[in-house]
Amino acid sequence: MLTQHHKTVCLSLTSFDLPIGSTLETSATLYQKERDRFHILLTEPLVEEAQPFAQQIAAWETSVSGSPATPRLLWLEVSPYRVTMTMQGNGKFSYRHFWEQGVYGVSRYWLQTETMVGMLSTRNINNSGQIRLRNYTRSLVLRQSDLPEHLPEHLRIEYELWSDKIQIGQYVMNLEIHH
């Protein structure tokens, strides 16, 4: 039972205790795998008027690769019980998060250049440029429509990010799917 829907989505990430916040509005393709299992695929548009930090990252990516940054692909595997989010893109940086309510999941980040890996000195980084952190999912709520397909309308994940025994922030991720 694989059905496909094209929807407009708003994805936001905010920290409760750090000055971090980001919002993305774009179109997405929603694949219904089973009644309560979905894959949501979206492309982050290129940022034309970037804020200072984003401009620095874009400049770094251009200097390393010799070409401007490319859009990044976000892929979410969603069910009422667990969510996996993978970001793949420009060949410089990618990540994967696994969330399940009440469980310590894994957040992995990959840095594909030795220059960037050399800038970070921590025991959480292995030789392949992978940073492995833990996340604790405090709340995972998936609201679905009353339509026969039970398509997702809203996803909210509240989680803590940990490096060893040090908490490095509390976050909330919201995904609104417009029907």
Q: Does pLDDT of 159 surpass 80?
A: yes
* pTM: predicted TM-score of the whole model, two decimal places: 0.78
What's the mean pLDDT in 167-174? 96
The domain locations on the chain are 3-178
Contacts of 66 (CB under 8 A, 6+ apart): none
Q: Which amino acid is at 65?
A: S
If one compares 96 and 126, the residue with the highest pLDDT of the two is 96
Greatest extent of the chain over all pairs of C-alpha atoms, in Å: 52
Which pLDDT value is given to residue 116?
45
Q: Nearest to residue 168, comparing CAs of 127, 113, 109?
A: 109
CATH of 3-178, one of 2.40.30.10, 3.40.50.720, 2.40.128.20, 1.10.220.150: 2.40.128.20
Tell whether the torsion through CA atoms of 121, 46, 97 and 175 is positive or negative. Answer: positive
pLDDT tier at 167 (50, 70, 90 boundaries)?
Answer: very high
- Which residue in 97, 93, 96, 40 sits closest to 69, CA to CA? 93
If DSSP codes are grouped into helix, strand and coil, which group holds residue 86?
strand
For the chain, the average pLDDT equals 82
Q: What is the pLDDT of residues 8-30, one digit of tens each?
A: 999 999 999 999 999 999 999 99
- Which contacts qualify for 109-115: CB closer than 8 Å, 24 or more apart? 109/133, 113/64, 115/64
Q: Determine the pLDDT at residue 179.
A: 78
Q: Is the pLDDT of residue 108 over 60?
A: yes
Contacts of 124 (CB under 8 A, 6+ apart): 131, 132, 133, 163, 164
Task: Work out the angle at residue 25's Cα, subtended by the Cα atoms of residues 43 and 106, and round it to the nearest 5 degrees.
Answer: 60
Joined tokens for residue 45: 């548009």
Tens of pLDDT, residue by residue over 33-73, are 888 899 999 987 655 544 555 555 556 555 555 555 567 78
